[in-house]
């Protein structure tokens, strides 16, 4: 999920004022551009429940789109990423009704599924910069049959998808290819569905490739005489990153009637894990069964509020999430505990109370979407923090290692890039050595949300393009403002 894969990151590089390794999505400083500044103040205390999980919402939408009957999703996330998914599904003919400010989504599939196509030309699906949407739809639509072109913003056409396309080619009746260099979108599909066989996919760039294939497997019966509950094996070659997201996918599949069996023995050389997946019986050819499905609050979004407590020495409760949640990013509170915070949990949620922070050495592979949040917390720790296991973060909405290092350096930290992560070393004189700066977001929602937290203790931290948070959390700055109890400063660059 980043630049063309031929761009090899440099290793063990100390960040300076120049752009860091790999192509950079540098946004020029434009006069009149809107910036937001979180105003420093005292300890942050309070309670908040973030909006619904993006990861769960888009997974549930895929399963509901290919489920018999009616599916009602409650607690859903309203954001650019979920709206892009909904619009793409409507474009291909799905009946989807959205209400309650986007929090309730009803998907209707009346009658048996038809696998015949009367298309005169391919469906053109605009995916913006939504990685989950293009990966999940590429797999699902290749299994469902039909003609499609999936395209997005220029940045989307730089994000690799070749490993997923290569995994689909041997199983699909038809053709599929990525049109941009180095296996990047647009993706063009002309499919008559999947045939029987085993799928092999690399696991080191994005777990979403595997999740997309897993959700597509129950959809993919293209032979009318085939066993509608046949099993498809999907085997992972090499390292599997972000395993909790794959476990989440398994649970969503099973909620909609599919069956998932994890296989860890008897695998071929080079395979690390495999999943045997079959569809539910008696689904009128859809592969899934419709149901009412409740979506948890977003744990990645919750990380910003827990971090606010850690940075400010306050106490913040996030309601609706516990360690029993499906989302692995709840584990971010355990990282904060290792840094010195107090963490308490009950049936209603998890409370983080800030304490003196210490730097740590930690593998963040399983919860890599919270690396930027951790990096900002690390600015206020005693000693360096070494983040490992997240080489794949260079391939997300932006280079979340190189670009993150560049922005943290502007605040006064010393940041060393590594092939698999980075080390954040605060100034020797602590917070006295940190200072404000105008920070780029690279059109990355998580850069904007995480970097804004530095303003809780550092004056003059100005975040450019704050509206990019609409990708996953349109109300982020309003919710943060309500939690901290003071207004942000909005202005335009002179």
Known catalytic residues?
A: 369
For residues 77 and 290, what is the distance between their CA atoms, to the nearest angstrom? 19
Structure tokens at 119: 């298309």
Rg (CA), the chain: 22
Q: Of 446, 459, 450, 468, nearest to 488 (Cα)? A: 459
Residues 8-29: b if buried by 16+ CB within 10 A, e if exposed: ebeeebebeeeebbbebbeeee
For residues 316 and 454, what is the distance between their CA atoms, to the nearest angstrom? 17
- Cβ atoms within 10 A of the Cβ of 457, count? 17
Structure tokens at 249: 């996918």
Where helices occur in 287-370 by DSSP H, the ranges are 299-312, 332-338
Tell me the DSSP string of 378-415. Answer: HTTSBS-EEEES-GGGGGSSS-TTHHHHHHHHHTT-EE
Structure tokens at 489: 């400063």
Terminal CA-to-CA distance of the chain, rounded, Å? 34
* Residues ≥6 apart with Cβ < 8 Å to 315: 43, 45, 309, 351, 352, 353, 354
Partnered with residue 13 across adjacent β-strands are: 417
């Amino acid at each position: 999920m980043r630049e063309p894969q031929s761009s090899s990151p440099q290793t063990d590089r100390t960040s300076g004022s120049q752009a860091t390794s790999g192509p950079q999505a540098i946004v020029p400083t434009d006069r009149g551009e809107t910036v937001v500044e979180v105003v420093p103040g005292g300890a942050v205390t309070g309670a908040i429940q973030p909006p619904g999980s993006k990861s769960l919402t888009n997974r549930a939408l895929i399963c509901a789109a290919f489920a018999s009957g009616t599916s009602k999703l409650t607690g859903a996330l309203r954001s650019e990423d979920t709206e892009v998914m909904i619009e793409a599904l409507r474009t291909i003919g799905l009946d989807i009704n959205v209400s309650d400010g986007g929090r309730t989504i009803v998907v209707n599939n009346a009658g048996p599924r038809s696998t015949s196509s009367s298309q005169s030309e391919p469906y053109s699906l605009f995916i913006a910069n939504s990685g989950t949407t293009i990966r999940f739809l590429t797999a699902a639509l290749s299994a469902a049959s039909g003609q499609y072109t999936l395209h997005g913003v220029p940045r989307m056409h730089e994000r690799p998808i070749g490993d997923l396309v290569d995994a689909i080619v041997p199983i699909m009746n038809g053709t599929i290819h990525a049109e941009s260099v180095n296996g990047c979108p647009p993706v063009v599909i002309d499919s008559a569905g999947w045939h029987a066989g085993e799928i092999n996919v690399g696991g080191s760039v994005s777990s979403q490739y595997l999740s997309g294939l897993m959700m597509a497997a129950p959809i993919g019966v293209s032979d009318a005489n085939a066993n509608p509950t046949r099993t498809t094996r999907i085997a992972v070659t090499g390292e599997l990153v972000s395993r909790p997201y794959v476990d989440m996918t398994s649970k969503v599949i099973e909620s909609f009637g599919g069956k998932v069996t994890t296989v860890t023995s008897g695998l071929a050389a080079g395979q690390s894990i495999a999943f045997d997946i079959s569809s539910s019986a008696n689904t009128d050819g859809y592969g899934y069964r419709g149901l009412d499905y409740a979506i948890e609050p977003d744990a990645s979004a919750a990380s910003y509020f827990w971090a606010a407590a850690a940075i400010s020495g306050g106490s913040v409760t996030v309601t609706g999430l516990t360690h029993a949640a499906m989302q692995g990013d709840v584990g971010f509170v355990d990282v904060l505990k290792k840094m010195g915070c107090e963490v308490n949990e009950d049936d209603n949620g998890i409370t983080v109370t800030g304490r003196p922070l210490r730097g740590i050495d930690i593998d963040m592979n399983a919860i890599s979407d919270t690396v930027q949040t951790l990096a900002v917390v690390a600015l206020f720790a005693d000693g360096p923090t070494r983040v490992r296991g997240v080489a794949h973060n260079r391939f997300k909405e932006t280079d979340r290692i190189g670009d993150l290092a560049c922005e943290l350096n502007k605040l006064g930290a010393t940041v060393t890039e590594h092939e698999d992560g980075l080390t954040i070393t605060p100034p020797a004189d602590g917070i006295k050595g940190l200072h404000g700066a105008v920070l780029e977001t690279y059109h990355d929602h998580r850069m904007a949300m995480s970097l804004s937290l530095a303003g809780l203790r550092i004056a003059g931290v100005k975040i450019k393009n704050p509206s990019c948070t609409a990708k996953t959390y349109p109300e982020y700055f309003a919710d943060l403002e309500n939690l901290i109890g003071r207004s942000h400063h909005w202005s335009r660059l002179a």
